[in-house]
Copies of this chain bind each other. A is one copy, B any other.
Amino acid sequence: MAKTPANTEEKIKDAAHQLFLEKGFGGTTTRDIAKCANTNIALVNYYFRSKENLFREVFQEGFANTFLPVAKILNDDFPLEVKIYKFVDHMTELLKSDPMMPLFVLSEMRSGQSQMCEIMLKSGAMDSNGFQLQLDCEADAGKIREADALQVETSLMAMVLFPFLSMNILKMKHQMDDTAFDEFVDARKKVIPEIILSYLRLP
């Protein structure tokens, strides 16, 4: 994947991808991108008309292909317990391979400098789901307590994403290196489903 790309256009895209993730849209300069791709500013603007355009081209499709399928697991057709383990496991692995993505997305959506909002909307990440139906169904069968899907979903997402969002603080506070951090989030693959399932099962 990280194969040094042959043509200049791809080199620029790769450099942009890396730098945007690291420093955000506003914090990244066209000069940085050009330098990182071993070329010059003029070529960046030759291939992509502007910095904004480059940003969109780099992230638009990427989302739909990686984040979205995993986020949709909660709407797929699996038994409740399987679904929760599957979601936590897949999402954790995805984030381990792209640890700075969550904070990047949230930051960009706040600043509004980039067109992150448009990208998210186009990606379909905003579509609604049938998770509430499943919870209601299981509750009617007396298998779990009655629960608000939005509350459960938010808690689940929070527990998976938060370690990556606060990675810097977490590492600094507990003297973790990359390996220790990976071990920590791996352990959460078991803890998080246990937490949610303990709650859902009747009191």
Contacts and interface: CB of A to CB of B under 8 A. Distances in A.
Contact of A110 (B107, B109, B148): B107
A188 interface: yes
Contacts of A151: 187-188, 191
A102 to B, nearest CB: 9
A172 B126 CA distance: 8
A190 to B, nearest CB: 10
Interface in A65-108: 100, 103, 106-107
Contacts of A199: 194-195, 198-199
Where chain A touches its partner, the secondary structure class is helix
Contacts of A109: 168-169
Most buried by B among A109, A159, A161: A159
A41 interface: no
A174 B150 contact: yes
A148 B187 contact: yes
A23 B111 contact: yes
Contacts of A168: 106, 109-110, 117
A161 to B, nearest CB: 7
Given A126-B172, A199-B198, A27 B103 contact: no
Nearest to A172: B126
11 contacts: A26-B26, A26-B27, A27-B111, A106-B165, A150-B174, A151-B188, A154-B188, A155-B159, A165-B165, A194-B199, A198-B198
The 3 A-B pairs with the shortest beta carbon distances in the complex, nearest first, are: A158-B162, A198-B198, A198-B199
